[in-house]
Amino acid sequence: MDRLDNTVRPYAWGSATAIPKLLGVEPTGEPQAEMWMGAHPGAPSRTARGTLVEVIDADPERELGAKAVAKFGPRLPFLLKILAAGAPLSLQVHPDLQQAREGYADEERRNIPVDAPYRNYKDANHKPELICALTEFDGLCGFRDPARAANLLEGLGVDSLKPYVDVLRAHPEDAALREVLTAVLTADPAEMAHTVAETAAACDRLGGDYTPYAGIAHHYPGDPGVIAAMLLNHVRLQPGEALYLGAGIPHAYLNGLGVEIMANSDNVLRCGLTPKHVDVPELLRIVRFEAGDPGVLRPEAAPDGEEVYETPIDEFRLSRHVLPGSGGVHDLTRATPQILLCTAGTVRAGEHELTPGQSVFVPAGEKAEMSGAGTVFRATVVA
């Protein structure tokens, strides 16, 4: 197995302290948002044999296994991250596989440069993802019931929100959510900025259920995404709890440290809370206008002490081992590629000693024994 040397991305929303605290190093004073583990071409992990992209390209079947290559092609189909949100991320959705293929092909036909700021589809893949909390973790996930969203907006006492309240109460669920989100994102910018300012002041004054939105408005003054965010469920995860974000589900991470895993894609349609491009017509094509419970996941027990976060897709499988340090050895050998990430304690993976934030890549079929006292997240695929 290969010890990984991973890149930390300094996005502006990142916490300046959470990842350094996990790694046991001094903060730099700059935001440290995400640490990437995998073979994404934007920031591949490095090994003694070269980057993980180079290692896999040299012999895909040996590194990934014949079944994984047959199912996903000669590439690692997931990206594992440690994510540290110190401020809200953009409100966003991801396409399903068919939508991604169609959108990518359309933008290719129109010769839109891949790095153009107004391009939506960087690749032809979908981007389901899972976030598992390492600390208390706040986020937004999926639409509230329209009646509950109407009550929340009405409670602010902001006159310019009343038309949205009336629509949410008068129309069927999907039509109401679609009409209000469309109206918010296409409103006159100056009028919307005034509405958001009034909303922010009311959220500050009222507190309670409005507190998360006061924080969002502080970071994104005047952004229509502040109003759009109030249509969504607010979720607070406790350590070990997780959220699965499938295609078309609007979401945003607000604050906290977590382990994130996703299909290897960069396709994002933004709804707000960002200075980046918002393509409203394409967004409305992708969003699933369905209210529902966000569905907090807790790990399910499997053999050998493994705890699995069950999801409906095959590009990734995330599980957790909490090792008691009793001297036993756990055999994690699989016929699929793995990344093992330590998040607490000290564990031994093969010949490598891992402390929090350290990780290894295990090629398919390679013997993988683990021991020690600590917590290890295991990322692999279903093939």
Does residue 270 have an active-site annotation?
yes
CA distances from 111 to 105, 118, 272 (A): 10, 12, 26
Give the count of alpha carbons within 13 A of 241, CB side only.
Answer: 14
Query: At which residue do the structure tokens 């153009």 appear?
Result: 116
CA angle in degrees (0–180, nearest 5) for 156-160-161: 50
Buried b (16+ CB within 10 A) or exposed e, 148-183: ebbebbbebebeebeebbebbeeeebeebbbbbbee
Question: Rounded to 5 degrees, what are φ and ψ at 166?
Answer: -65, -40
DSSP string, 7-76: EEE--TTB-SSHHHHHHT----SS---EEEEE--TTS--EETTEEHHHHHHH-HHHHH-HHHHHHH-SS-
What are 363's two structure tokens?
Answer: 């090629």
Ramachandran area for residue 22 (φ above 0: left; ψ -120 to 50: alpha; else beta): alpha
Q: Which residues have a Cβ under 8 Å from the Cβ of 115 and sit 6 or more positions away?
A: none
Report how far residue 200's alpha carbon sits from residue 257's, in angstroms, rounded to the nearest whole number.
Answer: 26
Q: Which of 3, 144, 270, 334 is catalytic?
A: 270
Give the Cα separation of 135 and 115 in Å (integer).
Answer: 34
- CA dihedral for 94, 98, 102, 108, sign (positive or negative): positive
In the chain, the amino acid numbered 239 is P
Burial 252-262 (b: 16+ CB within 10 A, else e): bbbbbbbbbbb
Please give the structure tokens belonging to residue 362.
């295990």
| Residues catalogued as catalytic | 270
